[in-house]
Amino acid sequence: MAAKDSGRAAAGERVAVAKTYKLFIGGAFPRSESGRTYQVTDAKGGFAANAAQGSRKDARDAVVAARKAFGTWAGSTAYNRGQVIYRIAEMLEGRRAQFVELVTAGEGLTTSTAAAAVDAAIDRLVHYAGWTDKIASVLGSANPVAGPYFSFSTPEPTGVVAAAAPQDDSFLGLVSVIAPIITSGNTAVVVSSAARPLPAIAFAEVLATADLPAGVVNLLTGDAAEIMPHLAAHGDVNALDLTGCDAELRAALERAAAGTVKRVFAGRQPNFTAPPGTARLRAFLETKTVWHPTGAVALSGGGSY
């Protein structure tokens, strides 16, 4: 092969650079620790690429990276998170043509339909970028209480969320799953579509260059039926998004999650072109209620506060 390529180069014909598709964990692009890969085909059944087949160990590594990133991401200001998510949209806009090509080839769509899906994904990121500093106002409250107290309820991120991305809507669906998770300050471990993983890995390259802290989003390629059970039972995963799972796998994961009392968002795959609403934002939030006395309260020592 080397001699053949050398001959072609000598004749002036350019040799294409083959791309190696890897996982995205902790801001880096490792191969699967198992060394396994699988063939990805396009919509016509032709060979498209070899993708890394994620393993149980890869899933554990991704959870470690997500947990490490959680404190910083959740503790950042809502304004800053909005800036970062908007930056992802900016970077994606600059690579729009590449994603249109990937979606066209992978899903067998017309170019115009694929372009509409990519544009919708960019717009979805802008939508959620605008939500970061509105979550507390819309989903929080000042509670009326009978007594000399202030009572406030405020939403806080759940923690590490493991998600199965849609199997068919390989890009718009992927973005629509990831964006609300990170908007509210959670970190994510996401298993991409097994049959159409290439947009997910290309999206990981966007995330890696868009000011998103390492570990906030971790993307695994491979079989959700192999990877998700380990995430569902993992003690350091706080919630599951089962959008991309079939009914049988969803039921098994819900049972596995019960052992560690995880939040489970078992939403079926919707029409992602429709307005997103707030269900995905609310799914991975906890509500903290704070009580504070008003006025002067006598203490046993005679003081007040």
Domains of the chain: 21-292 (3.40.605.10)
pLDDT beyond 70 at 6: no
The pLDDT value recorded for residue 10 is: 56
Enumerate the β-bridge partners of residue 291: 151
What pLDDT digit, counting tens, does each position of 99-108 carry? 999 999 999 9
**Residue 303's pLDDT band (cuts 50, 70, 90):** very low
**Residue 298's pLDDT band (cuts 50, 70, 90):** very low
Q: Are residues 76 and 83 in contact, defined by beta-carbon separation less than 8 angstroms?
A: no
Name the helix (H) or strand (E) containing 297.
none
Cα(83)–Cα(130) distance, integer angstroms:
9
Enumerate the β-bridge partners of residue 239: 161, 263
What pLDDT digit, counting tens, does each position of 246-276 carry? 999 999 999 999 999 999 998 766 789 999 9
The pLDDT value recorded for residue 294 is: 80
The pLDDT value recorded for residue 300 is: 47
Average predicted confidence (pLDDT) for the chain: 90
What pLDDT digit, counting tens, does each position of 115-163 carry? 999 999 999 999 999 999 999 999 888 888 888 878 878 899 999 999 9
What is the mean pLDDT of the segment spanning 206-214? 96
The pLDDT value recorded for residue 5 is: 53
**Residue 179's pLDDT band (cuts 50, 70, 90):** very high
Strand order from edge to edge, sheet including 285-293: 141-142, 149-157, 285-293
**Residue 227's pLDDT band (cuts 50, 70, 90):** very high
Which of 8-12, 13-17, 59-63 is the least confident region?
A: 8-12
What is the mean pLDDT of the segment spanning 215-242? 97
- Could you tell me whether strands 47-52 and 285-293 are parallel, antiparallel, or unpaired per DSSP bridges? unpaired
What is the mean pLDDT of the segment spanning 29-46? 94
pLDDT beyond 60 at 237: yes
Tell me 298's DSSP state: B
User: Residue 185 CA to chain centroid, in angstroms?
Assistant: 12
What is the mean pLDDT of the segment spanning 11-32? 88
The pLDDT value recorded for residue 304 is: 36
Tell me what percent of the residues of the chain surpass a pLDDT of 70: 92
Which of 40-44, 73-77, 117-121, 128-132 is the least confident region?
A: 40-44
Per-residue 3-state assignment (H helix, E strand, C coil) for 6-38: HHHHHCCCCCCCCCCCCCEECCECCCCCCCCEE
- Could you tell me whether strands 187-191 and 160-164 are parallel, antiparallel, or unpaired per DSSP bridges? parallel
Phi-psi label, residue 36: left if phi above 0, alpha if psi -120 to 50, beta otherwise: beta
What is the mean pLDDT of the segment spanning 215-225? 97
